[in-house]
Amino acid sequence: MRILFMAVAFVLMMSTTHAAIYQQGIVYVIYDEAGDAAPVDKTDLNVNGVPDVVEDIATQVNAARELFKDVFKFPDPLESERFNATSIEVDIKSKAVMGKYNGISGKKVRQHSKHNPNERAIHFRVANTVNPRKNSTPTHEYFHEIQYGATYFMNDWFKEGTARWAQDAVQNIKEYPDGKNIPSQLEDDTFAEQVYQGSYDMAKGFWYPLALNMNDKATIPDSLIEKYRYVDGSPVFRDNIIYGANVVREVIQVMKTKEELAAAEYGTLNEWRNKGRRDERNNKFIMASVREVYHGKL
């Protein structure tokens, strides 16, 4: 009798932790309503039964998507032949599952998405501790999907450096590093070697200085700033300034034309795409792309 009672209690407990799906446009946020993996911040200002952080994650992804795709003309990852998808799924996971990461991007398309098995989705994970009002992880992870859709190059100084750079879209960066040393740095092999060892730190160490030097300052349209607000009413775009959108887009497009060269050094195109995406021999091709864009001066 006691065992039966415990079994019933267990089933009841499980049934309260089933995954819920919140949809906003083509973005689906999949989260547990209770238990260890549920969003830690349960604030629900608009009393719709969905934690505000869940809605705010979807809002930030939609905002970043419209900015990069429609304003700055980055390639749309959904339309990439690598993905060919129609939706974006964001899974909220417990901090225990995520380890030290606030977000983890998905490199493969989800052929049978969680919200509809007949629909394909690109996807990434966000930790249940993330509050998008204070944290630009959704933009960072979405930018990885743009990268993956556009190029197979994945060396960290490019991959993490430009994903960290992309967070500027929804952040208010008060002081950018200046780019006065960029002309000499781009000719300096020792500097290049330092850049190749970098990762997230190359946003400030390389990509912002490059953008500043090239005077690639852009304004986020007022209409977009008005359109995207978190549940508490605050704007997703914390200011209207972003540096580097044209530079980074152009570099990615030039990189794409160098994939076959990098692959030929590594092996076959398939081998390179599967195992060579972070090979150190890629670095010179990525840097050559930067130099071409720099000397073309947009």
What does the binding site for Zn ion look like in residue numbers (CB under 5 A)?
160, 163
| Residue type present at position 104 | I
Is 67 in contact with 127 (CB distance < 8 Å)? no
Min dist CB 60 to Zn ion, Å, is 15
Query: Which contiguous run of DSSP H or E holds residue 241?
Result: strand 241-243
- Give the H/E segment covering residue 28: strand 27-32
Choice between 155 and 185, CB closer to Zn ion? 155
Burial class (CB in 10 A: 0-12, 13-18, 19+), 49: exposed
Sequence-separated (6 or more) residues with CB below 8 Å from residue 32: 17, 18, 19, 20, 38, 92
Minimum distance, C-beta of residue 164 to Zn ion, in the bound complex (Å)? 7
The 3-state secondary structure of 114-151 reads CCCCCCCEEEEEEECCCCCCCCCHHHHHHHHHHHHHHC
Instruction: Provide the minimum distance between the beta carbon of 144 and Zn ion in the complex, in angstroms, as a whole number.
Output: 6
Identity of the residue, 185 or 277, whose beta carbon is nearer to Zn ion in the bound complex = 277
Residue carrying the six token digits 């850049």: 195
Residues 125, 102: contact at Cβ < 8 Å?
A: no
Residue 293 corresponds to which tokens in the numbers above?
Answer: 């864009």
Which residues are CB-contacts of 291 (< 8 A; sequence separation ≥ 6)? 186
At closest approach, how far in Å is the CB of 163 from Zn ion?
4
Phi, psi of 160 (to 5 degrees): -80, -30
Q: Which residue is at the shortest CB distance from Zn ion?
A: 163
Residue (163 or 263) nearer to Zn ion, CB? 163
**Residue 51 or 205 with smaller CB distance to Zn ion:** 205
Give the nearest distance from C-beta 100 to Zn ion in angstroms.
12
**135 versus 185: smaller Cβ distance to Zn ion:** 135
Nearer to Zn ion, 86 or 102 (CB): 102
Q: How far is the CB of 25 from Zn ion (least distance, A)?
A: 23
- Nearer CB in complex with Zn ion: 154/263: 154
Q: How far is the CB of 199 from Zn ion (least distance, A)?
A: 9
